[in-house]
């Protein structure tokens, strides 16, 4: 218990270093096959392959930053109009409730309108929060880039270090565990990227068909927040419903229903097919991991908690005496469970991953 508390305290005070370090480890595992391919096929040196992988990663992240900056700039221009529309929509809701249920909500709604007005008019607070988030995000990605370079460049030295600290009799088990972690995490992260693309596309199509403003921005935001299990889709749905309500309100219920349908498709089709169940953590420990990750490292901790639990699950399953901990982290095993298959064409069949 003392060791757990000490590690938790060190993780809390070392957030600035440990969060980007763990993120860079995940990215290094993802880009390791690309770096090995450059060295093996194109005869690149270790340094050139490392920086080539870094440039590819930075290009993807820069594209996301540019997309959100342009979309948020348009949102900022429309913020006064959106503020007026929110006030107008809430007034209409107040009138509708009063006329429908014959209840006097004037006093209660005045408090809601006043609170809403205070939130929407706190531009200085919003600006300060945005600047703080931007500076912390830039520091996070700067440290991540530096750690990414060092980890890829010294990957063989780090591998030899991990192997050498264990006894020779455990070499095969340790090596198997390292290879399994590398394989599973690579498949997990690449599957998450595919999941983000599919969910973002489905959400954008839904919101565009319903005529919701900022459909592309909300769609991409939903895909990214969906990485946080259960919590991400709820928050993104609330944001989309609020924007829909503020810009008209006629299709807010359809937006909520559409998000429920997309979540059902994601949980029953997309997630089993592209991510698989090997790193699937049950809902109880997923929720606990999210809470602990947010408490220790904030938003980045929520994103990184699930891969961290997946790595722990792989380690527990291979260490004698810790197998029960690996089982309790995963889903309940079902006997004689057959993997589902979906035949798209004569030559293309999708099969549920393990």
- Residue ranges per structural domain of the chain: 11-165, 183-354
For position 225, what pLDDT does the model report? 84
For position 310, what pLDDT does the model report? 80
Residue 119: pLDDT over 60: no
Residue 336: pLDDT over 70: no
Residue 69: pLDDT over 50: yes
For the ranges 34-43, 72-81, 186-195, the lowest mean pLDDT is seen at 72-81
For position 170, what pLDDT does the model report? 78
Q: pLDDT for 247-271, tens place per residue?
A: 765 678 889 999 999 988 887 777 7
Of all residues in the chain, the percent with pLDDT exceeding 90 is: 9
Once rounded to an integer, what is the mean pLDDT over residues 205-222?
87
Banded model confidence at residue 123, pLDDT cuts 50, 70, 90: very low
Which class for 51: exposed (0-12), middle (13-18), buried (19 or more C-beta within 10 A)? middle
**Regarding predicted confidence, which is higher, 188 or 111?**
188
Residue 112: pLDDT over 60: no
**DSSP per residue, 138-201:** HHHHHHHHHHHHHHHHTHHHHHHHHHHTS-GGGHHHHHHHHHHHHHHHHHHHHHHHHHHHHHHH
């Amino acid at each position: 218990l003392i060791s757990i508390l000490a590690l938790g305290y060190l993780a809390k005070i070392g957030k600035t270093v440990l969060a980007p370090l763990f993120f860079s480890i995940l990215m290094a595992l993802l880009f390791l096959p690309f770096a090995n391919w450059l060295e093996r096929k194109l005869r690149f040196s270790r340094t050139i392959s490392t920086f080539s992988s870094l440039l590819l990663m930075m290009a993807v992240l820069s594209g996301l930053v540019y997309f959100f900056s342009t979309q948020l700039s348009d949102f900022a221009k429309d913020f006064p109009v959106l503020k007026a529309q929110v006030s107008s929509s809430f007034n209409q809701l107040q009138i509708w409730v009063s006329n429908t249920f014959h209840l006097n909500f004037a006093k209660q709604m005045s408090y809601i309108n006043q609170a809403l007005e205070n939130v929407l008019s706190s531009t200085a607070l919003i600006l300060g929060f945005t600047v703080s988030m931007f500076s912390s995000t830039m520091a996070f990605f700067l440290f991540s880039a530096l750690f990414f370079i060092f980890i890829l460049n010294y990957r063989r030295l780090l591998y030899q270090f991990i192997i050498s600290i264990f006894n020779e009799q455990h070499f095969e088990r340790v090596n198997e565990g390292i290879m399994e972690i590398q394989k599973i995490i690579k498949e997990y992260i690449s599957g998450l990227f595919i999941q983000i693309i599919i969910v973002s596309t489905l959400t954008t199509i839904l919101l565009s068909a319903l005529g919701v403003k900022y459909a592309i921005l909300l769609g991409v935001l939903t895909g990214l927040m969906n990485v946080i299990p259960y919590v991400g889709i709820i928050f993104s749905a609330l944001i989309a419903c609020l924007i829909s309500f503020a810009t008209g309100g006629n299709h807010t219920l359809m937006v909520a229903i559409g998000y429920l349908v997309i979540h059902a498709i994601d949980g029953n089709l997309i997630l089993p097919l592209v991510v698989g169940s090997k790193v699937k953590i049950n809902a109880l420990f997923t929720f606990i991991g999210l809470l602990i990750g947010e408490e220790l490292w904030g938003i980045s901790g929520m994103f990184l908690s699930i891969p961290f639990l997946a790595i722990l699950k792989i380690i527990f399953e291979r260490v004698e005496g810790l197998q029960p901990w690996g089982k309790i982290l995963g889903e309940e095993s079902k006997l004689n469970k057959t993997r589902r298959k979906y035949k798209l064409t004569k030559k293309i069949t999708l099969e549920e991953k393990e």
